[in-house]
Amino acid sequence: MKPIQILFATLALASVATAQPRNLPAGYMVETVNIPQEITLGVGGMAFMDNNTLLICTREGEVWKFNIQDGQWELYADGLHESLGLWIDRKKGDVYVMQRPELTRLVDTNKDGKADLYQTVNAGWGLTDNYHEYTFGPVRDSKGNFYGTLNTSLSWPGWAGSDKWDKARVHDSKMGRAAKYRGWSFQITPQGKFVPYSMGMRSPAGIGINAQDDIFYTDNQGDWNETSTLHHVVKDRFHGHPSSYYDHPKYIGKDLNKISIEEYRKLRTRPSVFIPHGELANSPGEPVFDTTQGKFGPFAGQIILGDQTRSNLMRIHLEKVDGEYQGMVVNFISPLQTGCIRGVFGPDGSFWVGQTGRGWGSVGGKQFGLERVRWDGSTTPMAIHHISLTKTGFDVHFTLPVDAETGADPANYNLLEYEYQYRPQYGSPKSQQKKIVPTSVKLSKDRKVARLTLPLTAEKVYQFNLNDKLRSYAGANIVNRVAWYTANRLHK
């Protein structure tokens, strides 16, 4: 296949006709990249080869080079099996692509700009013809270890007119384990060794890593997963879906249905963040840490997370309480043109959003796409920056000072306390709901922090609904007034 070369005058000109999302913070702009008709770009992964070259692997099994300066597209590799993530060694120039059956190293040995060596790094997990057995990743830590995640198998009785998948389901759930290590995360060492890492995943569609080598993945609502979630990956941790116990050394050969739901609940580590299904996300993708040090606006250090179904971007702020991560999630930008499953920050601090809608469906309706989110470098939108837990309630941090009168009125901070039910059924409604109004609100001296006093209970989700009377000191509206904080633990 010959390289495809298409030139845009500039990305800015290509984006003039782009309709901006309805929900867009002040100072931000979305640009849509025109994809040549010859390319089907169901984005599976993205990384920068250099400051000008964005590498994109696709669900269709291709890897494309896109020059962000002159708009040129060039095929780098093809013939892959559903590539859903990539990582680039910027020093050596090697590209690592996660295919469904293996992690593959792509090398351009003759330096002609195209990969000519496809080398298996590791293929230590099982795979069948079940369509749901996706493989995601990789991320790489500072010691050179790769990490990825493995989907469970779709296996309820009679699926696709066959009972071949009706196995390895626990308490009559929908998903199971039809091949080895489905529902696990894994590590691949620098020597190429496969190491089962953590277990209990259902559909872990995105994996991310921060500067401290903390690994996180997102999961989709379903059986044994109450709603969409963000989890902290720790060696030997159980995240909640029991079918992966079929490959645990201590449980091989045992009847997992004899273990009660309550026992599984005790074994499980709760998600770091619950993401409300239908309200904020349906199918979250890759968590990307903002390491731009302010080039992308006032949210440095937070996670930018896209959703495939709702075509939106969210922000997540994490904090450690009693040694474990938990925190806030809030909508950021919505909707974009189609499902947002991958993201990467460019050298200039702009955020590139890799998109796919084919087969799964998404708001916006396009089959695939590539968009770029920019911040103008000066405008600070009025927004909830983050929410932090205190011993007596919550601190709500704003990007700008709030109005002194409305900001100190408890009636403008309406909370809903609730929890989800951990169960083998698909998803969970909100349960034990309780409306709360803070007993008092005190503003910090700069009026950027509202200190809310209210009763707290562990293992609850707190939904913050800010009244539309609450505005900035200059009268600016808060761009997203609803946020959620997962309070797994309380301060001692």
CB atoms near residue 249 (< 10 Å): 6
C-alpha to C-alpha distance for 343 and 311, rounded to whole angstroms: 12
Which residue ranges make up each domain of the chain? 124-204+235-268, 384-487
CB atoms near residue 140 (< 10 Å): 18
Tokens of 468: 């539309």
Q: Check pLDDT > 50 for residue 447.
A: yes
CA angle 351, 352, 358 (to 5 degrees): 140
41 CB burial (10 A radius; 0-12, 13-18, 19+): buried
DSSP summary character for residue 176: E
Kindly report, residue by residue over 140-191, the tens digit of the pLDDT.
999 999 999 999 999 887 776 677 888 789 999 999 999 999 999 999 999 9
* Strands in 251-383 per DSSP E: 273-275, 284-289, 303-307, 313-321, 324-333, 340-345, 351-356, 368-375
| CATH architecture of the domain formed by 384-487 | Sandwich (2.60)
* Strands in 203-323 per DSSP E: 206-209, 215-219, 228-233, 273-275, 284-289, 303-307, 313-321
* Ordered DSSP codes for 336-357: -SS-EEEEEE-TTS-EEEEEE-
Kindly report, residue by residue over 214-239, the tens digit of the pLDDT.
999 999 999 999 999 999 999 999 99
Residue among 65, 215, 214, 235 at smallest CA distance from 136: 215
- CB contact set of 127 (below 8 Å; sequence gap of 6+): 100, 101, 133, 179
Max Cα–Cα distance, the chain, nearest Å: 69
Kindly report, residue by residue over 309-327, the tens digit of the pLDDT.
999 999 999 999 999 999 9
Residue 17: the pLDDT is: 47
Residue among 360, 346, 237, 351 at smallest CA distance from 309: 360
114 CB burial (10 A radius; 0-12, 13-18, 19+): middle
Q: Check pLDDT > 80 for residue 267.
A: yes
Residue 162: the pLDDT is: 74
Average pLDDT of the chain to the nearest whole number: 94
Residue 361: the pLDDT is: 81
Q: What is the pTM of this model?
A: 0.96
Looking at residue 405, its amino acid is E
Q: Check pLDDT > 90 for residue 292.
A: yes
Q: Check pLDDT > 90 for residue 358.
A: no
Residue 42: the pLDDT is: 96
DSSP summary character for residue 193: -
Distances (CA, A) of 404 to 9, 350, 388, 448, 465: 48, 34, 21, 10, 19
| Bridge partners for 45 per DSSP | 57
C-alpha to C-alpha distance for 431 and 440, rounded to whole angstroms: 26
